[in-house]
């Protein structure tokens, strides 16, 4: 009994899995949806109208201000919570850049509302249950969850920086630096 428990525990430690959260080093599974490469630097943001967890509607291509669009696998999982809390903790500095922050996952509206409330997230969370936003940005879906990829946009709606393989710890600071250097 102890041996099988330790083997299971070790497999989770090796994979870095937590409640279904995809890791960046796992090969795509057979259930991964094929996606083109993520939007490249200089690409125009897709013309999408999004409805955030708080009911706010925004058109990414017409924001007229810098933005961060960050994709993450799942609300209220360890890595995703670290990433969201870091952005929250740097919120005043991020606001100083004039940027809008939009977190996107395949979770639904109710999940986003609960996640934002639980961690007092001051930025927008957008559901992508049909994977249309991920596909438009070229973000891979693996086992129904978006890969962890972030895009920094300028005020004209062009991609200025892509983070194709995000490590949650420290990513808030990376985003702030990218926003600050784009000004």
Provide the pLDDT for residue 17. Answer: 34
The end-to-end CA distance of the chain, in Å, is: 58
Provide the pLDDT for residue 117. Answer: 98
Provide the pLDDT for residue 20. Answer: 37
165 part of a folded domain: yes
76 part of a folded domain: yes
15 part of a folded domain: no
113 part of a folded domain: yes
12 part of a folded domain: no
Provide the pLDDT for residue 38. Answer: 80
64 part of a folded domain: yes
Active site residues: 80
7 part of a folded domain: no
Residue 95 structural domain: 22-181
**pTM of model > 0.85:** no
CA atoms of 64 and 38, how far apart (whole Å): 22
pLDDT digits (tens, 9 = 90+) for 37-93: 788 888 999 999 999 999 999 998 899 999 999 999 999 999 999 999 999 999 999
* Of 15 and 37, more confident: 37
Spell out a b/e string for 88-126, using b for 16 or more CB atoms within 10 Å of the CB, else e: bebbeebeebebbbbbbbbbebebbbebbeeeebebbbb
Q: Where is 104: in which H helix or E strand?
A: strand 100-105
What is the total count of domains within the chain?
Answer: 1
CATH value at residue 54: 3.40.30.10
pLDDT digits (tens, 9 = 90+) for 112-166: 999 999 999 999 999 999 999 999 999 999 999 999 999 999 999 999 999 999 9
Provide the pLDDT for residue 19. Answer: 36
* Of 60 and 33, more confident: 60
159 part of a folded domain: yes
Provide the pLDDT for residue 36. Answer: 58
**Partners of 150 in beta bridges:** 70, 163
């Amino acid at each position: 009994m102890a041996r099988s428990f330790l083997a299971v525990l070790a497999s989770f430690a090796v994979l870095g899995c937590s409640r279904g959260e995809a890791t960046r080093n796992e090969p795509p599974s057979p259930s991964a949806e094929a996606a083109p490469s993520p939007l490249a630097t200089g690409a125009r943001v897709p013309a999408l109208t999004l409805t955030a967890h708080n009911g706010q509607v925004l058109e990414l291509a017409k924001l007229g201000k810098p933005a961060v669009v960050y994709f993450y696998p799942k609300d209220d999982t360890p890595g995703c919570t670290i990433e969201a809390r870091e952005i929250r903790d740097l919120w005043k500095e991020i606001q100083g850049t004039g940027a809008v922050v939009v977190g996107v996952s395949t979770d639904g509206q109710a999940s986003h509302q609960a996640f934002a409330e639980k961690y007092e997230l001051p930025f927008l969370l957008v559901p992508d249950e049909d994977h249309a936003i991920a596909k438009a940005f070229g973000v891979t879906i693996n086992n129904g969850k978006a890969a962890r990829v972030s895009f920094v946009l300028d005020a004209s709606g062009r991609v200025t920086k892509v983070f194709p393989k995000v490590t949650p710890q420290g990513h808030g600071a990376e985003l702030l630096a990218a926003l600050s250097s784009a000004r």
